[in-house]
């Protein structure tokens, strides 16, 4: 169950929309940041707020890259593997991250801190390789910079 | 040269509202509201020769003119800032430096089209651009350039941001409309075109960020001035080029339409990266054909690039060096498209993973001669997909087979990638 103040702010967001479901992505994002991922409970709550069925919410939830319908670590790492980052050797970064975190793509580190996901172009093609960790972006990655970023994220995460 | 889009840029921060106004910002809006009819604004954009900067290059004024003026009910304007074409980062750079030209351009477009309520559809990852826009919207509203009764006139315009959650297909205009409505963003069938029946079934115009950001300068300085900015006679205006890959400086620059590839690479990019030689490039994002060294002097404009078999696209130039395997590069591009396919139609959903498997096999040394023919067939038949996504995905493959068939065959004959030791 989401707290009343959160419910109220979401109801206000929905009321501002031209039609309620226009607010669907915003509602899913807020619920996700509350629960850590978009849980079944969150899907039900979104459906209620938006006047949709659970299935209709799930149709949307499963479409978007940044909506997680399965449990993820405290912070999700998205590493761009599109063409510009590829030409800047993102493959080596991906290998390094997997080794460092001891997980495969889609996996979550044993401490529950990081989930690693490859992703599409982040629009930072002049600064590749690029990754995002939670809300933060890291550019011009090298294995050393990746290690620094992970350390920083662990520190600010606790 | 004269800058238009990057005119107000500061090196390391966004221009402020006051700075923008001091440098002539919102003068075009004042001019239009004081002395131009909506039709005159539209005619200026038509006469300017401005073509859509998102990739397709459709004439902007013409797109506006398709909106019926006599239908009852609301009509809509959407700015497409779902910049997810791999290699493309120009709209982000523009908005991180200056959100005001877009807002002024959208207000002018709303005036021309009779739109009361417009949206900016922002992709995931562009939070800084969205923050800039949010701040700029408040400032513009407080100064009377947005909201109720703009500059004391009868005109009112509301502008809202939609922050997406990441999916390439949302950049396709009908998918974008579905996304904005809160529906699953599969593309819609056309016709009806959005200009007739789009957002909430109302007449709708969808324009790219860079396109709309050009409008204030066109209205302020006139269509002839805008046309004159281009280097080639048939061109109009400037273009943001964002370069990545094997160049020394990976930069986003504003240059006149008609600047050649060679001038872009040798000029602002500082040439190729140390010790590297130009082999090929993709001129306009992932869904455009390769261009070769023989095409380095082609003026970068819509028709001139189309004439040599590629597309200006979004102006995202991705440069590959001698020694870079273009089968592997194409495989990377196709992998992207296979993953981002929305799954709505069979040619795209099934065809792209199939093409990907063949390219994977060729790259791994297990390709056969007949694979080349199968790939060619797919270039042809994936054009029967529901929207422009799959045909776009086939563009780099088409380019590979047109310009680098020998390289593909070498993989097959040697039974391995010739670029790997």
Q: Does B324 touch chain A (CB under 8 A)?
A: yes
Nearest CA in chain A to B282: A83
User: Which CATH architecture best describes the domain B17-228?
Assistant: 3-Layer(aba) Sandwich (3.40)
| Unique residue bearing structure tokens 């669907």 | A24
Pair of tokens at residue B182: 């809160």
Distance from the Cα of B41 to chain A's closest Cα (Å) equals 28
Say if the Cβ atoms of A84 and B318 lie within 8 Å: yes
Say if the Cβ atoms of B282 and A119 lie within 8 Å: no
CB B112 within 8 A of CB A147: no
Pick from A19, A59, A84: CB nearest B244: A84
| Unique residue bearing structure tokens 């809202």 | B160
Say if the Cβ atoms of B165 and A67 lie within 8 Å: yes
Pick from A19, A84, A87: CB nearest B200: A19
Say if the Cβ atoms of B324 and A25 lie within 8 Å: no
Tell me which H or E stretch contains B305.
helix B302-307
Say if the Cβ atoms of A63 and B184 lie within 8 Å: yes
Query: What mean pLDDT is predicted for residues B78-96?
Result: 97
Q: Indicate if the pLDDT at residue A158 is higher than 90.
A: no
For chain A, state the CA radius of gyration.
17
Nearest CA in chain A to B273: A88
* Among A84, A132, A79, A65, residue whose Cα is nearest residue B286: A84
Burial of A96 (0-12, 13-18, 19+ CB in 10 A): middle
Return d(Cα A16, Cα B12) in angstroms, integer: 35
What is residue B374's three-state secondary structure? helix
Q: What pLDDT, on a 0 to 100 scale, did the predictor assign at position B71? A: 84
CB B242 within 8 A of CB B281: no
Confidence of residue B121 (pLDDT cuts 50, 70, 90): very high
Confidence of residue B209 (pLDDT cuts 50, 70, 90): very high
CB B407 within 8 A of CB B327: yes
Q: Mutate one of B244, B314, B321 to test the A interface: name it (highest A CB count within 10 A).
A: B244
Return d(Cα B212, Cα B197) in angstroms, integer: 21
**Ranges assigned E (strand) in B128-268:** 158-163, 204-208, 238-245, 252-256
Q: What angle do CA B366, B372, B377 make, to 5 degrees?
A: 130
CATH class given for the domain over A75-157: alpha beta
Say if the Cβ atoms of B320 and A87 lie within 8 Å: yes
Other Cβ atoms less than 10 A from the Cβ of B13: the count is 9
pLDDT digits (tens, 9 = 90+) for B259-318: 999 999 999 999 999 999 999 999 999 999 999 999 999 999 999 999 999 999 999 999
Say if the Cβ atoms of A64 and B167 lie within 8 Å: yes
Q: Does B343 touch chain A (CB under 8 A)?
A: no
pLDDT digits (tens, 9 = 90+) for B51-70: 999 999 999 999 999 999 88
**What's the whole-number average pLDDT of chain B?**
97
Q: What pLDDT, on a 0 to 100 scale, did the predictor assign at position B215? A: 98
Query: What mean pLDDT is predicted for residues A95-110?
Result: 97
Q: Indicate if the pLDDT at residue B349 is higher than 60.
A: yes
| Unique residue bearing structure tokens 């056309």 | B190
Q: Where are the domains of chain A?
A: 4-61, 75-157
Q: What pLDDT, on a 0 to 100 scale, did the predictor assign at position B2? A: 81
pLDDT digits (tens, 9 = 90+) for B130-141: 999 999 999 999
Q: What pLDDT, on a 0 to 100 scale, did the predictor assign at position B295? A: 97
Residues contacting B300, CB < 8 A, separation 6+: B239, B241, B255, B257, B258, B259, B260, B261, B264, B283, B312, B315
Query: What mean pLDDT is predicted for residues B65-90?
Result: 95
Q: Indicate if the pLDDT at residue B170 is higher than 90.
A: yes
Enter the ipTM: 0.96
Q: Is the peptide bond before B36 cis (omega within 30 degrees of 0)?
A: no
pLDDT digits (tens, 9 = 90+) for A75-94: 999 999 999 999 999 999 99
Q: What is the pTM of this model?
A: 0.96
Pick from B83, B162, B335: CB nearest A123: B83
Q: Where are the domains of chain B?
A: 17-228, 241-321, 326-414
Q: Is the peptide bond before A105 cis (omega within 30 degrees of 0)?
A: no
Return d(Cα A73, Cα B124) in angstroms, integer: 19
Lowest mean pLDDT among A32-36, B66-70, B177-181, B205-209: B66-70
CATH class given for the domain over B326-414: mainly alpha
CATH class given for the domain over B241-321: alpha beta
Percentage with pLDDT > 90 across chain A: 97
Q: Indicate if the pLDDT at residue B164 is higher than 90.
A: yes
For chain B, state the CA radius of gyration.
22
């Amino acid at each position: 169950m989401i707290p009343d103040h959160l419910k109220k702010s979401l109801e206000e967001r929905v009321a501002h929309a031209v039609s309620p479901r226009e607010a669907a992505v915003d509602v899913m994002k807020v619920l996700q940041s509350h629960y850590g991922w978009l849980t079944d409970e969150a899907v039900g709550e979104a459906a209620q707020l938006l006047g949709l069925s659970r299935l209709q919410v799930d149709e949307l939830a499963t479409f978007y890259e940044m909506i997680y319908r399965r449990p993820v670590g405290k912070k999700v790492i998205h590493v761009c593997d599109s063409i510009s980052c590829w030409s800047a050797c993102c493959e080596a970064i991906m290998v390094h991250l997997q080794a460092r975190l001891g997980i495969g793509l889609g996996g979550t580190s044993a401490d529950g801190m990081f989930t690693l996901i490859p992703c599409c172009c982040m629009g930072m093609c002049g600064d590749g390789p690029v990754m995002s960790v939670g809300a933060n972006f890291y550019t011009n990655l090298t294995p050393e910079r990746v290690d620094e970023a992970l350390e920083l994220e662990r520190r600010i995460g606790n | 040269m004269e800058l238009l889009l990057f005119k107000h840029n500061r090196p390391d921060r966004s221009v402020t509202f006051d700075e923008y106004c001091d440098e002539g910002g919102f003068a075009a809006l004042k001019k239009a509201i004081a002395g131009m009819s909506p039709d005159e604004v539209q005619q200026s954009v038509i006469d300017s020769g401005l073509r859509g900067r998102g990739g397709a290059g459709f004439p902007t004024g013409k797109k506006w003119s398709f909106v019926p003026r006599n239908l009852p009910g609301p009509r809509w304007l959407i700015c497409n800032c779902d910049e997810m074409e791999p290699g493309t980062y120009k709209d982000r750079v523009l908005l991180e430096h200056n959100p005001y030209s877009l807002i002024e351009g959208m207000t002018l477009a709303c005036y021309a089209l009779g739109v009361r309520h417009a949206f900016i559809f922002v992709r995931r990852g562009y939070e800084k651009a969205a923050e800039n826009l949010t701040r700029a919207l408040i400032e513009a509203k407080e100064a009377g350039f947005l909201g109720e009764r703009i500059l004391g006139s009868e005109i009112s315009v509301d502008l809202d941001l939609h922050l997406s959650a990441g999916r390439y297909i949302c950049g396709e205009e009908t998918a974008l409309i579905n996304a904005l409505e809160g529906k699953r963003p599969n593309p819609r069938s056309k016709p009806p075109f959005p200009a007739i029946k789009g957002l909430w079934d109302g007449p709708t115009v969808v324009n790219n960020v860079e396109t709309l950001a050009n409008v204030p300068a066109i209205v302020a300085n006139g269509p002839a001035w805008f046309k004159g900015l281009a280097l080639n006679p048939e061109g109009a205006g400037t273009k943001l080029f964002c370069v990545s890959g094997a160049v020394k400086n990976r930069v986003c620059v504003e240059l006149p339409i008609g600047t050649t590839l060679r001038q872009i690479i040798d000029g602002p990019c500082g040439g190729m990266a140390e010790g590297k030689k130009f082999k090929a490039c993709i001129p306009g994002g992932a869904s455009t054909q390769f261009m070769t060294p023989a095409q380095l002097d082609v003026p970068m404009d819509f028709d001139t690039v189309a004439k040599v078999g590629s597309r200006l696209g979004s102006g995202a130039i991705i440069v590959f060096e001698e020694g870079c395997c273009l089968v592997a590069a194409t495989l990377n591009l196709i992998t992207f498209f296979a993953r981002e396919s929305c799954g709505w139609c069979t040619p795209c959903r099934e065809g792209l993973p199939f093409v990907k498997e063949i390219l994977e096999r060729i790259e791994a040394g297990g390709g056969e001669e007949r694979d080349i023919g199968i790939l060619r067939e797919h270039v042809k038949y994936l054009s029967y997909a529901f929207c422009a996504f799959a045909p776009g995905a086939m563009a780099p493959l088409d380019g590979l087979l047109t310009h680098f068939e020998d390289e593909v065959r070498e993989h097959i004959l040697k039974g391995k990638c010739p670029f790997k030791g």
